[in-house]
Amino acid sequence: MRIGIVGAGMIGSTVAKLWVDAGHEVRIASRHPEELQPLVERLGTRASAGTPREAATFGEVVMLTVPLAAMPDVARDLAAALRGKVVLDTGNAYEKRDGQAARDAASHPQGSAGWAAAMFPAARWVKAFNTVYFKVLEREAHRDGDRVGIPLAGDDREAVETAASLVRDAGFDPVIVGGLERGKEFEPDTRPYNTGMSGRELRSMFGSPVH
């Protein structure tokens, strides 16, 4: 699968490596793609760098992993390119970093993911990869036994199943929590956030079926 990643921070670069290792083609983006060449060289021939628009156009699935405050600018630039595409939203509302955007997102009826998704009305939005620290992703991928769980929330069932498949490919256990509004249950300051819980533990907590 072709995957675009908008945002070359720790989450984006860590998950990019896991997907490349699983055989996917990845285009990772920043506003200065030339600065990503060392990362692309480490990732290998299935990886490339580009602008955010190039990554959005390239990907059958696109991960947005940018600070919440940047989302309105990303929407202005990329909403048209993401029409009909599965979008994985890793965003979290941190008031110290994101200011008013974090307050607006936290007060949205569907939480930060619903706040962001409303700016991309034609995209197939899934909240994903927002709960686990990048070093845990790096260290615990494909571990034996109960794998680290990645909770997912979205209103488009096929999009959520696509996200779940990519979570498995990265070496983790997807836990489908429910519709997008249930993303509020795994945002910062919730019980599962940044704990590295296993999929089994998350299913027990959320009451989710095994997928």
pLDDT beyond 80 at 209? no
* Confidence category of residue 31, pLDDT binned at 50, 70, 90: confident
Is 201 a member of any domain? yes
Is 38 a member of any domain? yes
Residue 23: give its domain's CATH number: 3.40.50.720
Is 111 a member of any domain? yes
Percent of the chain at pLDDT > 90 equals 95
Is 129 a member of any domain? yes
pLDDT score at 210:
62
Is 77 a member of any domain? yes
Please check whether residue 148 is in contact with residue 175, taking contact to mean a CB–CB distance below 8 angstroms. Answer: no
pLDDT score at 207:
86
Domain count, the chain: 1
Percent of the chain at pLDDT > 70 equals 98
Task: Determine the structural domain holding residue 128 and report its residue range.
Answer: 2-206
* Confidence category of residue 201, pLDDT binned at 50, 70, 90: very high
Give the residue-averaged pLDDT of 116-138.
97
Is 211 a member of any domain? no
For 69-92, the pLDDT digits (tens) are 999 999 999 999 999 999 999 999
Distances (CA, A) of 179 to 16, 41, 103, 154, 185: 26, 38, 22, 5, 11
Please check whether residue 70 is in contact with residue 6, taking contact to mean a CB–CB distance below 8 angstroms. Answer: no
Is 170 a member of any domain? yes
**Mean pLDDT, the chain, as a whole number?**
96
